[in-house]
Amino acid sequence: MITTQNIYKAIRTRLTADLPTITTQIKDVKNPAPPCLYIQYVSVNENEIASDTINTITSFAIVYFSDKKTLLDMLQVEQSLRKSFKKPLKVEFLNGQSTESRFLDVTSINSAINETDYILTVTLDFNFYQATDVDNPYDDYINTDTMEILEGV
C-alpha cells in the first residue's frame, strides 16, 4: 500500500533529479540556507470505497527559499517545478515482501509567492485508488462447516 512516506521520498527523488542546483533541505527548516527547497506534508484523507479499496487524497507543499530575492527568480523556479511534476511521479512501495512501483499523476498544482520574504510555495495534490492491506474483516466469522453444507445445496 502506498503511504505518505513513499510519496515524500518520490517527491524528494524528483526534486534532486530535476532541480540539481537547488538543495532539498530535509532538516532545520527554521533556518533555511537559500537557495533551497523544503518538502512540507500538508494532509491526507483516506476513504474506504469498498472492503478492499480506498481512495487516498493527499497534499504536499514544496517551499522554495530564494537567495536572489527577485520575483523573476521565483517565477523561474515555479515554472521548473510545474514542468517537473506534470510528468507522473514514480512511487515505490512495499507490497507484502516485495517492492513495487506505481506512477501517480499530480491532480492539481497550486502556487503562491510571498514577495515580502521571497518564498514560493507550490502545492501538489494527489488523488488515487489503492487496495487495502487489511485482511478480510469477515474471515473470523466464516464457518467452514456451514459453507460446505451450503455448497452442497
pLDDT in single tens digits along all 153 residues of the chain: 999 999 999 999 999 999 999 999 887 677 888 999 999 999 999 999 988 899 999 999 999 999 999 999 999 999 999 999 999 999 999 987 889 999 999 999 999 999 999 999 999 999 999 988 755 555 555 555 555 555 555
Q: Helices 4-18 and 71-86 meet at what angle, rounded to 10? A: 120
What's residue 150's pLDDT?
A: 52
What's residue 28's pLDDT?
A: 64
CA-nearest of 112, 2, 5 to 13 is: 5
Which residues share a beta bridge with 25? 38
The tally of CA atoms less than 13 A away on the side-chain side of residue 92 is 8
Q: Per residue, what are the HEC states of the chain?
A: CCCHHHHHHHHHHHHHHHCCCCEEECCCCCCCCCCEEEEEEEEEEEEEEECCEEEEEEEEEEEEECCCCCHHHHHHHHHHHHHHHHCCEEEEEEECCEEEEEEECEEEEEEEEECCCCEEEEEEEEEEEEECCCCCCCHHHCCHHHHHHHHHC
pTM, to two decimals: 0.84
